[in-house]
Amino acid sequence: MSETPTTKLETWVEVPKNSDFSIYNLPFGIFKNKRLSPRIGIAIGVKIVDLSVLEEAGFFSDMFLPEGIFQKETLNDFIALGKPKTRKVRERVQELLLADNEELRDHSIRGKVMVNRKEAEMLMPVKVGDYTDFYSSIEHATNVGKMFRDPENALLPNWRHIPVGYHGRASSIIPSGTPIFRPKGQFKDPNMELPQFGPSRRLDFELEMAFITGKETKMGDSISTKDAEEYIFGFVLFNDWSARDIQAWEYVPLGPFLGKSFASSISPWVVTTEALEPFKVKGPEQTPEVLDYLKFEGEGNYDLNLEVYIAPDDKGPSKVCQSNFKFMYWSVAQQLAHHTVNGCNINVGDMMASGTISGATEDSYGSMLELAWKGTKPIKLETGEERKFIEDGDTVIMKGFAEKDEMRVGFGEVSSKVLPTK
Amino acid sequence: MSETPTTKLETWVEVPKNSDFSIYNLPFGIFKNKRLSPRIGIAIGVKIVDLSVLEEAGFFSDMFLPEGIFQKETLNDFIALGKPKTRKVRERVQELLLADNEELRDHSIRGKVMVNRKEAEMLMPVKVGDYTDFYSSIEHATNVGKMFRDPENALLPNWRHIPVGYHGRASSIIPSGTPIFRPKGQFKDPNMELPQFGPSRRLDFELEMAFITGKETKMGDSISTKDAEEYIFGFVLFNDWSARDIQAWEYVPLGPFLGKSFASSISPWVVTTEALEPFKVKGPEQTPEVLDYLKFEGEGNYDLNLEVYIAPDDKGPSKVCQSNFKFMYWSVAQQLAHHTVNGCNINVGDMMASGTISGATEDSYGSMLELAWKGTKPIKLETGEERKFIEDGDTVIMKGFAEKDEMRVGFGEVSSKVLPTK
């Protein structure tokens, strides 16, 4: 399963040291530039491989791909070809990029295939059908419980039995680089007699990972934890923007709504499960034992470093959080098995986010709510400024990468600036 | 606004007495039959007007519609033309169907345009982008509060201030006639020490109406209650299937998830806001006064009779509920204004359901949970059988129609049979 490839791979493409987009990664995304309409590319170092040009030139001719499959505005149709096909495309590109492979390296078309990443604009990688957000970090759920409920019984009774989740808003998922507007809404602080209306005063990020489904199911069918991975195409970084004051007033009894639905930001490159395979680790032990349909043997988590930075207007970024995807109590396989156990059907391009990924230490908390502990412990930025929540003009940047031996597989970043209420 | 048209309209099409699909209605839907691929039609009496044939024959030639706009598998592209255009198409069809209009009546193409409704299969009318469910009936919210929380303080503190809502699952919304499977899941009754897994023992319907959005907004923008109607294309009947035992165990703190996401059924004909205009009425008074962005003058509710029937396997239906859409505390304009006040963007084809529509009397409750009061008062069917919840083999049928003077505008029905767990 998660053994390191025995061979060290080298490529003829310029890959800066510590690049997230190594020859081991090869994530898929949708890009365009001044000259090119939206299309599917694979990132490698400072370049993007334009798959549509490769295809036209016959480099995938033995795979019988539908014509124009890479000349698309989303990855959905490509992903829908199924893992055996998409895997093969990625493997073929990896082969073409190997240092000693001459096919593309010495081909006259090379200049047209290899696009500068710097000059490309990254778009939403998929058209998201349904978006689900889980709540799978025990540290995060415990912190929230301590702050808002009983510190002695911080976890709710169902938490260790089900990967708690809820449906989110798909329309407002946006790619890195798109600014967001501070949301307006109703809130009622304990000291207010009546609810008030205005811009949120407690805008927050949530550090999450999300997976994109790659295979549909029919209504009434379920996915087992064992088969779950075959239904996952890949992952992105996910910033689940949250307005804490709006959320607090609205969420009982039907859950978060306008406190979340104004925006969620994702990183634009979809890192495949294949690229993440070497970084799999066992998840935390689950006590009490879970019900049969949630049982999972083996390595279901990913050892993936996660970081959050805040950059106030025109100033440099300060790291405010250092977490890891491996902290998750519930694995993605368990999330997907739970999501479908009632027969809920999944489509290609659904997005399922992890919930805030917090660790055990105070510097690993995945939201301002926790980092500044409900506003009681403001955090200091390198600029000298303090933050309890996110202010207008702040850019929030999330990064994620896995490292092992010589291999580095990363996500680049999801970066979004907060603009004042529109 | 809601005045009765001064002229009585008559048509040359056979319209049975009490047909929901009168000349005043003319709802849009997607149909196919043995001969015809999916396309857009308008229902009238026993017939469907095949709009694609009308268009090809030049009956809309002065409207400059995109070619093939009616030869589609969903209404989305048509709806996206905007209300001025879709309104004009409906008005043109109404004109063509008038008793004394010869254009279509005496045209050789008439036989090809008028399809038998009986022989048509109705498909999903729209591709649903995002689906939202509100909770806007004060009687329903009060009943639930009495059963599960404090009978003295049945309504939660936020209920009269915000049209409470939550995101639902769009992928499992299905058209009338599609059977559903009893969902499996986790539940933990108060008497159980640990949660158990199995088919839901408390399967329920929820009688709702849903509107379909017809115009998009950009992120950061909001819709005022005054403008809301311009963003609504039309309505359908909505059965928000619910598994009460699964829901009860999962919903704290993030809201309903698997207790709902296994299926929601809708009626296939979309009745336009124009057709419903004569049936508008004022909603209940709202106390305390709502915040400014939720204020609404005039008639925001619809006087629409709603009925629910249960038909056990191979047996006749028994009416179990008689309610009315006019009972809603929060109007659709308020729902849409609230949904977008935080800048959440709306797309064409979003679906927003009302929440269970209960009235003040016991026979007007819109769910089995309320009708049989948490299983304590089983209801008797005409077959002699009793029901606390919905059993395998039961078909649940919802009907809705408005009547005034000579006019009847109805939805047909949403009917779905419950099959045993798959």
pLDDT digits 0-9 by tens, A111-121: 999 999 999 99
Q: Flag whether residue A195 sits within 8 Å of chain B, measured between CB atoms.
A: yes
* Ramachandran angles phi, psi of A50, nearest 5°: -80, 100
Residues A6-11, mean pLDDT to the nearest whole number = 86
Percent of chain B topping pLDDT 70: 99
**B310 burial via Cβ count (<10 Å: 0-12, 13-18, 19+):** buried
Point out the residue among A252, A345, A422 whose CB comes nearest to the CB of B343: A422
ipTM: 0.96
pLDDT digits (tens, 9 = 90+) for A180-189: 999 999 999 9
Res A149: pLDDT: 87
The CA distance from A353 to A132, in Å, is: 6
Strands B379-380 and B386-387: antiparallel
**B37 burial via Cβ count (<10 Å: 0-12, 13-18, 19+):** exposed
Nearest-neighbour CA in chain A from B54: distance (Å): 33
CB contact under 8 A, B262 and A221: no
pLDDT digits (tens, 9 = 90+) for A174-231: 999 999 999 999 999 999 999 999 999 999 999 999 999 999 999 999 999 999 999 9
Answer yes or no: do A213 and A68 share one domain: no
Residues B269-273, mean pLDDT to the nearest whole number = 99
Residues A357-385, mean pLDDT to the nearest whole number = 97
**A36 assigned to some structural domain:** yes
Res B1: pLDDT: 41
The CA distance from B221 to B224, in Å, is: 10
Q: Flag whether residue A162 sits within 8 Å of chain B, measured between CB atoms.
A: yes
Do B25 and B304 contact (CB within 8 A), yes or no?
A: no
* Ramachandran angles phi, psi of B382, nearest 5°: -65, -20
CATH of the domain at A263: 3.90.850.10
Closest chain A residue by Cα to residue B159: A250
Which residues contact residue A198 at a Cβ distance below 8 angstroms, ignoring those fewer than 6 apart? A184, A187
Which residues contact residue A374 at a Cβ distance below 8 angstroms, ignoring those fewer than 6 apart? A147
pLDDT at B62 exceeding the cut of 70: yes
Answer yes or no: do B276 and B370 share one domain: yes
Do A341 and A293 contact (CB within 8 A), yes or no?
A: yes
Q: Which strand (E) or helix (H) includes residue A347?
A: none
Report the Cα B312 to chain-centroid distance in Å.
23
**B341 burial via Cβ count (<10 Å: 0-12, 13-18, 19+):** buried
Answer yes or no: do A142 and A235 share one domain: yes
Nearest-neighbour CA in chain B from A21: distance (Å): 31
Picking from B257, B260, B287 by the largest number of A CB atoms within 10 A of its own CB, the best residue to mutate is: B257
CB contact under 8 A, B170 and A130: yes
Res B149: pLDDT: 87
Do B140 and B370 contact (CB within 8 A), yes or no?
A: yes
Q: Which of B172, B175, B142, B147 is nearest to B159 (CA)?
A: B142
Res B314: pLDDT: 80
Range of the domain at A73: 28-122
CB contact under 8 A, A255 and B256: yes
DSSP state at residue A331: -
Answer yes or no: do B142 and B118 share one domain: no
Do B320 and B196 contact (CB within 8 A), yes or no?
A: no
Query: Residue A406's pLDDT band (boundaries 50, 70, 90)?
Result: confident
pLDDT digits (tens, 9 = 90+) for B7-55: 799 999 999 999 999 999 999 999 999 999 999 999 999 999 999 999 9
**A11 assigned to some structural domain:** no
Count structural domains, chain B.
2
CB contact under 8 A, B255 and A253: yes
> E strands along B17-103, which residues?
28-32, 39-44, 47-50
CB contact under 8 A, A171 and B249: no
Chain A residues close to B222, C-beta within 8 Å: 184
* Average of per-residue pLDDT values in chain A: 97
The CA distance from A243 to A199, in Å, is: 9
Answer yes or no: do A177 and A54 share one domain: no
The CA distance from A365 to B368, in Å, is: 43
Do B225 and B296 contact (CB within 8 A), yes or no?
A: yes
Answer yes or no: do B104 and B238 share one domain: no
Domain boundary among A76, A98, A122: A122
pLDDT at B287 exceeding the cut of 50: yes
Give the number of other Cβ atoms within 10 Å of residue A213's Cβ.
26
Res A6: pLDDT: 55
Query: Residue A290's pLDDT band (boundaries 50, 70, 90)?
Result: very high
Res B5: pLDDT: 52
Res A295: pLDDT: 98
Domain boundary among A99, A122, A145: A122
pLDDT at A249 exceeding the cut of 80: yes
Answer yes or no: do A109 and A234 share one domain: no
**B6 assigned to some structural domain:** no
**B258 assigned to some structural domain:** yes
Residue A118 token pair: 């710097």
Residues A30-57, mean pLDDT to the nearest whole number = 98
Of the listed B140, B161, B338, B339, which one is catalytic?
B140
**B169 assigned to some structural domain:** yes
Do A101 and A154 contact (CB within 8 A), yes or no?
A: no
Q: Flag whether residue B249 sits within 8 Å of chain A, measured between CB atoms.
A: yes
Residue A19 token pair: 């690049």
Strands A264-266 and A173-175: parallel
The CA distance from B228 to B224, in Å, is: 6
Point out the residue among A161, A168, A181 whose CB comes nearest to the CB of B219: A181
CB contact under 8 A, A197 and B292: yes
Bridge partner list, A398: A308, A414
The CA distance from B353 to B205, in Å, is: 14
Residues A65-85, mean pLDDT to the nearest whole number = 97
Chain A residues close to B250, C-beta within 8 Å: 158, 162, 164
CATH of the domain at A70: 2.30.30.230
Q: Chain A to chain B, count of Cβ pairs less than 8 Å apart? A: 190
Domain boundary among A122, A140, A157: A122
pLDDT digits (tens, 9 = 90+) for B290-348: 999 999 999 999 999 999 999 999 899 999 999 999 999 999 999 999 999 999 999 99
Do A342 and B243 contact (CB within 8 A), yes or no?
A: yes
Which residues contact residue A68 at a Cβ distance below 8 angstroms, ignoring those fewer than 6 apart? A52
pLDDT digits (tens, 9 = 90+) for A131-146: 999 999 999 999 999 9
Bridge partner list, B243: B203
Q: How many helices (H) and strands (E) would you count in chain A? A: 10, 26
The CA distance from B82 to B67, in Å, is: 16
Point out the residue among A174, A186, A256 whose CB comes nearest to the CB of B162: A186
**A23 assigned to some structural domain:** no
**B9 assigned to some structural domain:** no
Report the Cα B14 to chain-centroid distance in Å.
26
Answer yes or no: do A305 and A273 share one domain: yes
Answer yes or no: do A212 and A295 share one domain: yes
Answer yes or no: do A94 and A141 share one domain: no
pLDDT digits (tens, 9 = 90+) for B163-191: 999 999 999 999 999 999 999 999 999 99
Do B291 and B163 contact (CB within 8 A), yes or no?
A: no
Report the Cα A398 to chain-centroid distance in Å.
10
pLDDT digits (tens, 9 = 90+) for B69-97: 999 999 999 999 999 999 999 999 999 99
Closest chain A residue by Cα to residue B347: A171
Interface of A with B in 329-358 (CB under 8 A): 338-339, 341-347, 350
Answer yes or no: do B138 and B99 share one domain: no
* Through-space distance between the first and last CA atoms of chain A, rounded to whole angstroms: 49
Residues A48-77, mean pLDDT to the nearest whole number = 97
CB contact under 8 A, A263 and B161: no
Query: Residue B406's pLDDT band (boundaries 50, 70, 90)?
Result: confident
Do B80 and B348 contact (CB within 8 A), yes or no?
A: yes
Answer yes or no: do A105 and A166 share one domain: no
Do A363 and A319 contact (CB within 8 A), yes or no?
A: no
Res A1: pLDDT: 41
Percent of chain A topping pLDDT 90: 97
Bridge partner list, B206: B367
CB contact under 8 A, B221 and A292: no
pLDDT at B402 exceeding the cut of 80: yes
Buried b (16+ CB within 10 A) or exposed e, A309-342: bbbbeebebbebbebbbbbbbbbbbbbbbbbbbb
**A49 assigned to some structural domain:** yes
Residue A102 token pair: 């001459």
Which residues contact residue A13 at a Cβ distance below 8 angstroms, ignoring those fewer than 6 apart? A23, A44, A45, A46, A47, A97, A114
Res A5: pLDDT: 52
Residues A4-27, mean pLDDT to the nearest whole number = 91
Picking from B159, B167, B192, B338 by the largest number of A CB atoms within 10 A of its own CB, the best residue to mutate is: B167
